[in-house]
Amino acid sequence: MNILLVVSESHGDGKTAISATLAHYVATLGKTVTVVKPFGGTNELGENSDSHIFSSLIGSKQSDWPIKLPETGLLDKQGQPCQDLKNVKNELTNISKNHDLVVVEISSKIPKFEQAKIAEFLEAKVLAVIRHKHGLKANTIRQQLNSFGQNLSGILINARTKHTSHEVQASFIPELEDSDIKVFGTIPEERKLLSVTVDQVVEHLKGEYVLKVKERSGELIENFLVGGWTMDDGSLYFATKDNKAVITRGDRPDLQMSALSTKTSCLIMTKGINPIEYVEYEAQEEGVSIVVVGKDTISTMESLDSIIDIAKFDHVEKLERLHELIKSEVDSKALLEAIGIAS
């Protein structure tokens, strides 16, 4: 039975993204692999659960998981596995008979001492995902991971920002490896992984489609450009970014037409003003959706400040991009060997 537990300190560190992408990577090597999340907190259940993401992105189907974490925990008063955990082990044993690797994401709501016991009970290897931030100390990570003992295969550092690159390479990684903690690599922060779709933008802004191009409504928006805040020619300004949404006042057809002459995913028109007929016709010809919002331009931009909070790892382009980053930024050979997969 080859089980890999993916753990992290906090929600949002990137466990789901790493779990799904690692499973995808292993599958491209001709291996059979699945990824599951047996337990979840209240906010990790339902249609938007990580299990739904695993199913939609890589075809892993465990419809009965995740189940709600028991209030009493996964261990009894004597520190022994509860019946739910025993049932999960039995199911994982059955699944592993037909798979070279079973990736198990562990909810960060499970206490650390329980996570270590789970790893021991399942006889699983452990991969820790560490979301790096400035000032994070290697000693803090050592203390967090110490309880996993020999089950710990190593760590992946995720979302490393550009300005912390030297700090990570010069001190953070060497200090961890001096403590015999294997660091497989660092994954840099990436705009595409933080992006949202056109539909998600519309929902977040409480906007309405005037024109919806259905085949592009699931397109990822990586950039937002505001019309009217530049001295440059509009077409030159809008051409500086692809995969973008352009925000303009509804009564600025000049800016809207300039945006439509470049690669634009959608137009967002503010102040509740619908586009003139010619702009709508041109948008239809170019396959660009038009969205109208009631707020003014500045308020709309302020609303977008929080859009990163709804970004999820739920798009095949994100999966493909993270796969590329793992191959280029991570010692993937060492990682695969550590989890029992020969590359």
CA nearest neighbour of 5 among 76, 110, 141: 110
Residue 178 maps to a domain: yes
Is 99 in the same domain as 236?
A: no
For the chain, the average pLDDT equals 91
pLDDT tens for 101-126 read: 999 999 999 998 999 999 999 999 99
pLDDT tens for 206-225 read: 999 999 999 999 999 999 99
The number of domains in the chain is 2
Is 64 in the same domain as 209?
A: no
Is 275 in the same domain as 189?
A: no
Is 319 in the same domain as 297?
A: no
Token representation of residue 15:
């466990």
Residue 343 maps to a domain: no
Is 31 in the same domain as 176?
A: yes
Domain CATH for 170: 3.40.50.300
CA distance 2 to 15: 19
Is 237 in the same domain as 280?
A: yes
CA distance 278 to 301: 26
Domain CATH for 240: 3.40.1390.20
Is 184 in the same domain as 261?
A: no
pLDDT tens for 257-305 read: 999 999 999 999 999 999 999 999 999 999 999 999 999 999 999 999 9
For 144, the domain range is: 3-193+312-338
Residue 291 maps to a domain: yes
Is 210 in the same domain as 143?
A: no
- CA atoms 227, 201, 107, 158: torsion sign: negative
